[in-house]
Amino acid sequence: MKRSVRLAAIICLLTVISSAQISRAQSAEETTAKYLESVRHQPGLLLAFLRQMPKGGDLHVHLSGAVYAESFIDWASENALCVDRSTSKLMHAACDSCEGYKNKPSVRCAYQDHVLYNQLVDAWSMRNWHGEEESGHDHFFATFEKFGPAMEKHIGDALAEVASRAAADHLQYVEVMHTADGTGAASLGGKIGWDDDFSKLRDKLLTGGMADVVASVRNQLDSDEARKKEVLHCGTPQAGLGCEVTLHYLYQVLRGLPREQVFAQILLGFELTKADSRFVGFNLVMPEDYYVPMHDFDLHMRIIEALHKFYPATHVSLHADELAMGLVPPEGLRFHIRESIERGGAERIGHGVAVMSEDDPIGLLREMAKKNVLVEICLTSNDVILGVSGDRHPLRVYMKYGVPVALATDDQGVSRSDMTHEYLRAVETYGLSYGELKRMARASLEHSFIPGDSLWSDGRAWRRAAVCADEKVSSDSISEKCEKSIGVSERARVQWQLERAFAEFEKHF
């Protein structure tokens, strides 16, 4: 009798201890959530909180658009470029001297000429943009042709800047959109020409020099990544925090080019993901409202659909509905997301601003939720480019219908923003809770194209895979089985890194 009483007491005690442990684990997140609520209307404290919060991944980043104008001035100076003072466009030419007011000065002149320096920063970004003088859309997209030549020989420096800013924002991962071949595939496509038989056109490109383009891209990326590590001092005692951020690449197809060049670039995107694990997918870029992207939209989806059969493992994320009423005719708003998913095989949608203008939008939202298609939400760029913000933005609609979402920066250098301020905008505008932000951060890694198995057996309820289900993320040691599982999967490793970061962050509250 006494033994049974003692046994019952021990079981009761263990139950209490277990419940207390669960309560402590829950209370860390709960008290962190309560702290956010307490500073929700105190911008300075809210900003400080969100700056330190772990944010997972940034899945929608254009490499050139991620760089701040001040860096471009430095690189253009190193490249000995001139600038047309009347247009702010960089050029390769014999420059005028810095004395007096010259129309074609060296970019170096900007270091002594504060008017020129400020002119370049304003022209190459959205700083001091005035909507009554020029549309945000036009000013935004015009920046790229102005500062473009500054990127020459500085891709590695740009990667270092992206990684450093990601580390400062407490991101663990970035997927960078990058047209890594320059004009290689486009030139090959122009040389080979067009064929309505996509299979034959693919064969012509593969036998006509595509392998050389792939090899060139890989060699150049080796060099660019080496430069990134050099700038960040990776592998040395002075290593920057950016060294800890995982980078992968989406090959960036320029969909405004002629059809034979777009086909060649899409094919290169597929070939790169097969040949080099650093490339994890591809995307189509350039303004969606331009003539060729609108006119050839269905053609581009058919090209992807046809080629995907040869590369079934390749991941696809597509810009779709970065549009608003009036920017294009109403019929141009009715099908881009659905066709991107159903024909283009998109696993993620970039922007998706005009989703409620699509045919049967509620049915589309339910389809996206069922297929688990994530939307990359770019609040700042949607505001400055399209003038869509607040209740006109569909973020809350996506969340209402269970469509996974993650915040993204898009072109943080041009927008003069960062991921922390995307989170700030989301909290201040949509009243998002800490739990909702945390789910977005986790979703960014769950829907990333990082190779390997997920840490989660259920990426909606956030239940960990059985092998790591009972591990304490705050512990310095984990079981051999869990450690092995994480060790063989890059995806699980980065996800575990995020969970560790959350545990450390929540200790402070």
Q: At 234, which amino acid appears? A: C
Same domain for 207 and 94: no
Same domain for 301 and 283: yes
Distance CA 314, CA 452 (A): 14
* pLDDT of 3 above 60: no
Tell me the residue range of the domain where 140 lies.
63-151
Same domain for 253 and 162: yes
The model's pLDDT over 364-412, given as tens digits with 9 standing for 90+, comes to 999 999 999 999 999 999 999 999 999 999 999 999 999 999 999 999 9
The model's pLDDT over 209-258, given as tens digits with 9 standing for 90+, comes to 999 999 999 999 999 999 999 999 999 999 999 999 999 999 999 999 99
Same domain for 351 and 304: yes
Distance CA 337, CA 351 (A): 10
Same domain for 200 and 145: no
Please identify, among 422, 446, 470, the residue that sits at the C-terminal boundary of a domain. Answer: 446
Same domain for 195 and 75: no
Indicate the number of domains in the chain.
Answer: 2
Q: What angle do CA 351, 353, 359 make, to 5 degrees?
A: 120
* pLDDT of 18 above 80: no
Q: Is 491 inside a domain boundary?
A: no
Q: Is 105 inside a domain boundary?
A: yes
- What Å distances lie between residue 301 and 186, 252, 266, 306, 320, CA to CA? 18, 15, 10, 9, 11
Give pLDDT, residue 26: 63
pLDDT mean over 179-204: 98
Distance CA 242, CA 239 (A): 8
Give pLDDT, residue 446: 98
Give pLDDT, residue 17: 43
Distance CA 292, CA 310 (A): 26
Q: Is 284 inside a domain boundary?
A: yes
Q: Is 107 inside a domain boundary?
A: yes
Same domain for 272 and 233: yes
Which residue matches tokens 């739990």? 435
The model's pLDDT over 117-168, given as tens digits with 9 standing for 90+, comes to 999 999 999 999 998 899 999 999 999 999 999 999 999 999 999 999 999 9
Give pLDDT, residue 201: 98
Q: What angle do CA 442, 445, 446 make, to 5 degrees?
A: 80
Residue pair 279/245 in contact (Cβ under 8 Å)? The answer is no
Q: What is the pTM of this model?
A: 0.93
Same domain for 139 and 176: no
* pLDDT of 8 above 70: no
Same domain for 269 and 136: no
Point out the least confidently predicted range of 178-182, 353-357, 368-372, 472-476: 472-476
CATH of the domain at 314: 3.20.20.140
* pLDDT of 13 above 90: no
The model's pLDDT over 336-364, given as tens digits with 9 standing for 90+, comes to 999 999 999 999 999 999 999 999 999 99
Share of the chain above pLDDT 70, in %: 95
Q: Mention every residue, 6+ apart, whose C-beta is less than 8 A from residue 451.
A: 277, 280, 489, 490, 491
Q: Is 254 inside a domain boundary?
A: yes
Please, what is the average pLDDT of the chain? 94
Same domain for 236 and 168: yes
Please identify, among 128, 151, 174, the residue that sits at the C-terminal boundary of a domain. Answer: 151
Residue 494 tokens read as 């980065």
Q: 463-464 and 456-458: which strand pairing?
A: antiparallel
Give pLDDT, residue 420: 98
Give pLDDT, residue 6: 55
Eight-state DSSP code of residue 196: S
SS3 197: coil
Going by pLDDT thresholds of 50, 70 and 90, the confidence category of residue 476 is: confident
Give pLDDT, residue 1: 47
Same domain for 272 and 123: no
The model's pLDDT over 19-56, given as tens digits with 9 standing for 90+, comes to 444 444 468 999 999 999 999 999 999 999 999 999 99
pLDDT mean over 255-284: 98
Q: Is 499 inside a domain boundary?
A: no
Q: Is 341 inside a domain boundary?
A: yes
Same domain for 177 and 88: no
Please identify, among 151, 181, 204, the residue that sits at the C-terminal boundary of a domain. Answer: 151
127 phi-psi bin (left φ>0, alpha ψ -120 to 50, beta other): beta
Give pLDDT, residue 4: 52
Q: Is 229 inside a domain boundary?
A: yes
Residue pair 365/404 in contact (Cβ under 8 Å)? The answer is no
b/e 282-295 (16+ beta carbons within 10 angstroms → b): bbbbbbbbeebbbe
Long-range Cβ pairs for the range 114-119 (8 Å, 24+)? 116/83, 116/85, 117/73, 119/85, 119/88
